[in-house]
Structure 1
Amino acid sequence: MTSETATGRGLKSLWPLILITSLFFFWGVANNLNDVLIPQFKKAFVLTDLQSGLVQSAFYMGYFLLALPAAFVMRKLGYKTAVVVGLLLYATGAFIFYPAANNHQYSWFLGGLFVIASGLAFLETSANPLITVLGSPDKAAFRLNLAQSFNPLGALSGIFIGQHFILSGIEHDETALAAMTDAARQAFYISEVKAVQGPYLVIGCVVLLWALLVFLSKFPAAATQNAHEDSGEEVGFFQSVVQLLQRPRFMFGVMAQFFYVGAQVGIWSYMIRYAQAEMGLTDKVAATYLYYTLIAFAVGRFIGTGLMTKVRPTLILGLFALINIGLMLYAVVTGGENGLWALVASSFFMSIMFPTIFATSVAGLGNLTKTGSSLLVMSIVGGAVLTAVMGFISDHSHIRTAFVVTAACFAVIALYAFRAPKDATGPVQMTGH
């Protein structure tokens, strides 16, 4: 009887589990499409590297500003409500791309990206814990890792959509543009801008349909109830923030996460730009290197996870950070195809950084863990800040020089890793970043 009851409960959770697991795919698509939008908007709106880099600034500011409101909604109204709100915001942001293209307004696109990321803040805050309650507790870790395996598929799909349905591969230098008539030049810019309309309209419709499915589907009671601290005495938000600020090790982790996300986003955002400047590739061809990057990232996660069963995670983190400092400096000094491959290789060593920093930062926080997790999610604003810094340096020097910023980021991570107590390992859980 007990076995039959467990089986019945598992079947009831299967459909909600499929719906929520798909979210990991959806935010992988959104995140990696940005790497294609940067060169696309640079061409279509004739932007500087700093201006095109605002794609990531707008996106990650959405994460930063909505992480805590998302946690509040999740705690007060339950996981399911937070998911529905996140999907509605995601779809709304995607739909904004249509009038933005019609009106040829870059600022509207930035607004749409901000709204999309606001939705993703809700989805990422709620999806991970929700997966753990959709089934038996002893299989929670398995379900979470299975769900997270769909994130790389979304990332690859995002690059595929961008490369084949947005990037045209048509590029004109300043001389060719100057030789065009005003009408021909304007027609070229408009066609490049409108290339984003179709893909984002489809994405918006699919996400909106998913919001409706989640809303109408019956979820287990744990998905709709208030989500409170799992254990320990309840601590008010402001009180918990004050206590966390008094923990230097945790705050160092927040800083390390800020610089890690800045490095990852900066490398992936400007990889196409680097390939164009150093090898003369078109944006469409250069996007192929983003596939190699994600493959390196995925392989690095498998190998890094295996190494952590034998070697202390913070030691691996520190060594990988040192290797990436070398790869970044090599890309700055050498340039060309070898420099581009150095950027690709860096993703292998970045792969374990986000979850390792996250896990070691929250280890031992007890009933401060959820607030600490929110602050760590907010630290991904590094992707907004440091990508803009790299764009500014590129505009005033060269795209190669901008990667000095990412070398400095990895130096901070190495310092964090090597100053970690030997017992600050934590249960490293791989995530989508």
Structure 2
Amino acid sequence: MKKQNIIQLPDGYLNRTPFVQFILLSLLFPLWAVAASLNDILIAQFKHVFELSDFASALVQSAFYGGYFLIAIPASMVIKKTNYKFAIITGLLFYIVGCSLFYPASHMATYTMFLFAIFSIAIGLGFLETAANTYSSMIGPRKYAILRLNISQTFYPIGAISGILLGKYLVFQKGASLEAQLATMSPAEAQAFGLKMLENTLEPYRYMIFVLIGILVLFIFTKFPSCKPEVNSSKVTGKTPGIIETLKYLGGNKRFRNGIAAQFLYVGMQVTVWSFTIRLALDLNPDINERTASTFMVYSFSAFFVGKFIANFLMTRFSPSKVLVSYSVIGSALLAYVAFVPNMTAVYAAVAVSMLFGPCWATIYAETLEVIKEKKYTETAGAILVMAIVGGAVIPAVQGFVSDFFGSMQLAFLVSMACFIYVGCYFFGEMKKQSASVQPSEKPVESV
């Protein structure tokens, strides 16, 4: 049987998905997951070494996701002028540079220098996510765009778990918790001990550099389809739309604005829950150390992985919006449990919430991108959706501030609960719009 050639359609989608390119593209997702999960390790490490408040320790996420926010539009412009592959290679190069900056940061031993290294990594990841999320949804038939992106996102927990394990065994040490050890030391001993702990933060990034170089080489020597929609020269005189025209079009699309808000709050909620799970475990059980507490993050990312598979199965039978409404209701109830039950079962509830995070990002991203009917605005729309990741810079700081203000790490989880409630309301609204768009005489076609 003759193999069907891959053909790019006028809207940028392909007649079939190139398997090798799709797998290689999906391998980018665990790469930024490693960096994101290592931030959860760094927050716990920096909290005591630098004697930070909960708000100040959350600035790790502010530096990380702030980089995403600033680079997304420039990254979309690079994609528009070149292609997705070039943007991915650019992102990998910045990622390598950012990891390399942990060498001077671990020796200078200043919080600011670590934040700068994290920010540099985020610039690379901004390029990667802006390109890879949109590219994954488009590298195949249009009707499977959401499913394809969810499959790529399924690789995310693999990287997240790897990042936590790297941090658990290379950054955290055996023995009592950092807070307990530092409490028994003189100022000079504490300073020397702190410097040693900071040097440990370099180790995971040393290994990451070699992995990134390998992936970079594979991308350089692999051919990828363009997946960029054709421009009708008779309508637009061969010119691509300018940024002002694009923002005006996108700003006038109410469903796009709602999707941006939902993505902002979802990412903020996910990052916040994962940022403070280790701290929550240490608060509720002072007898454990950071290495033991980090095991709960392994459970969290395992739950995230399982949740994505369950969601992928459910979304072949029900619309994504229906699935996500159910997930949001259960997730909000679990976060209320985390906030009000003062024992270790609250930590397990925080772990369980991760199972419900799985399909949110990809579904919001793909569905919001689908409301853009003029595909010439796709690259910038995808960049703005990536910019919504800045929620990961804002919501953890808000929850950290609430924790400091009320003196309660648990009560602060109500901030995350409020975010999940909004996400549920967003998907409920989308579900109603989708139902209203089906004619009474028609049988609804469930999304895949």
TM-score class, shorter: 0.7 to 0.9
1:273 matched to 2:247: no
> How far apart in 1 are the matches of 2:446 and 2:130?
18
Aligned residue among 349, 360, 365 for 1:342 = 349
Q: Which runs of 5+ in 1 are unaligned?
A: 7-12
**Letter matched to residue 419 of structure 1:** G
1:300 to partner: Cα distance: 1.5
> How far apart in 2 are the matches of 1:168 and 1:132?
41
Q: 1:230 to 1:49 in 2, by over 3 A?
A: farther
Aligned residue among 420, 443, 446 for 1:410 = 420
Q: 1:96 to 1:318 in 2, by over 3 A?
A: same
1:363-374 alignment to 2 at 5 Å?
363-367=370-374, 368-374=377-383
> How far apart in 2 are the matches of 1:416 and 1:331?
23
1:384 matched to 2:390: no
Aligned residue among 241, 249, 264 for 1:243 = 249
Aligned to 1:256: 262
Kept after mapping to 2: 8 A contact 1:327/1:343:
yes
Q: 1:34 to 1:92 in 2, by over 3 A?
A: same
> Which shows bigger deviation, 59-68 or 228-237?
228-237
Q: 1:363 to 1:320 in 2, by over 3 A?
A: same
> Which shows bigger deviation, 132-141 or 252-261?
132-141
Q: 1:363 to 1:422 in 2, by over 3 A?
A: farther
1:50 matched to 2:55: yes
> How far apart in 1 are the matches of 2:254 and 2:206?
45
Kept after mapping to 2: 8 A contact 1:359/1:428:
no
Aligned residue among 104, 126, 133 for 1:121 = 126
Aligned to 1:10: none
> How far apart in 2 are the matches of 1:391 and 1:294?
22
State the Cα deviation string for residues 204-252 of structure 1 (Å, max 9, x = none).
243235434533x2525x35xxx74456765433212112212222211
Q: 1:32 to 1:69 in 2, by over 3 A?
A: same
Kept after mapping to 2: 8 A contact 1:363/1:424:
no
Aligned residue among 44, 62, 75 for 1:70 = 75
Number of residue pairs the alignment of both structures matches: 418
> How far apart in 2 are the matches of 1:99 and 1:169?
25
> Which shows bigger deviation, 191-200 or 177-186?
177-186
State the Cα deviation string for residues 264-292 of structure 1 (Å, max 9, x = none).
00000000000000122211111111111
Kept after mapping to 2: 8 A contact 1:360/1:424:
no
1:174 to partner: Cα distance: 6.4
> How far apart in 2 are the matches of 1:192 and 1:61?
26
Kept after mapping to 1: 8 A contact 2:178/2:290:
no
Aligned to 2:40: 35
> How far apart in 1 are the matches of 2:308 and 2:181?
44
Kept after mapping to 1: 8 A contact 2:25/2:136:
yes
Aligned to 2:304: 297
Kept after mapping to 2: 8 A contact 1:328/1:343:
yes
Q: Secondary structure at the match of 2:172?
A: coil
Q: 1:104 to 1:228 in 2, by over 3 A?
A: same
1:173 to partner: Cα distance: 7.1
> How far apart in 2 are the matches of 1:372 and 1:124?
13
Q: What is the TM-score when the length of structure 2 is the normalising length?
A: 0.84
Aligned to 2:206: 201
Q: What is the TM-score when the length of structure 1 is the normalising length?
A: 0.87
> How far apart in 2 are the matches of 1:344 and 1:142?
25
Q: 1:231 to 1:358 in 2, by over 3 A?
A: farther
1:159 matched to 2:164: yes
1:115 to partner: Cα distance: 1.0
Q: Which runs of 5+ in 2 are unaligned?
A: 7-17, 436-444
Kept after mapping to 1: 8 A contact 2:134/2:382:
no
1:386 to partner: Cα distance: 0.6
Q: 1:316 to 1:171 in 2, by over 3 A?
A: same
**Letter matched to residue 216 of structure 2:** A
> How far apart in 2 are the matches of 1:286 and 1:120?
27
Q: 1:362 to 1:376 in 2, by over 3 A?
A: same
Aligned to 1:420: 430
1:148 to partner: Cα distance: 4.1
> How far apart in 1 are the matches of 2:155 and 2:430?
31
**Letter matched to residue 421 of structure 2:** A
State the Cα deviation string for residues 346-395 of structure 1 (Å, max 9, x = none).
11222222222223323332124433222111111001001011111112
RMSD, aligned CA: 3.0
Aligned to 1:98: 103
Aligned to 1:325: 332
Aligned to 2:31: 26
> How far apart in 2 are the matches of 1:184 and 1:294?
36
> How far apart in 2 are the matches of 1:141 and 1:265?
22
Kept after mapping to 1: 8 A contact 2:266/2:420:
yes
Kept after mapping to 2: 8 A contact 1:355/1:428:
no
Aligned to 1:109: 114
Aligned residue among 309, 323, 328 for 2:316 = 309
1:32 to partner: Cα distance: 1.3
Q: 1:38 to 1:169 in 2, by over 3 A?
A: farther
1:111 to partner: Cα distance: 0.8
Kept after mapping to 2: 8 A contact 1:356/1:428:
no
> Which shows bigger deviation, 261-270 or 242-251?
242-251
> Counting helix residues as a fraction of each chain, which structure ranks higher?
1
Aligned residue among 52, 59, 62 for 2:64 = 59
Aligned residue among 78, 81, 87 for 1:82 = 87
**Letter matched to residue 108 of structure 1:** M
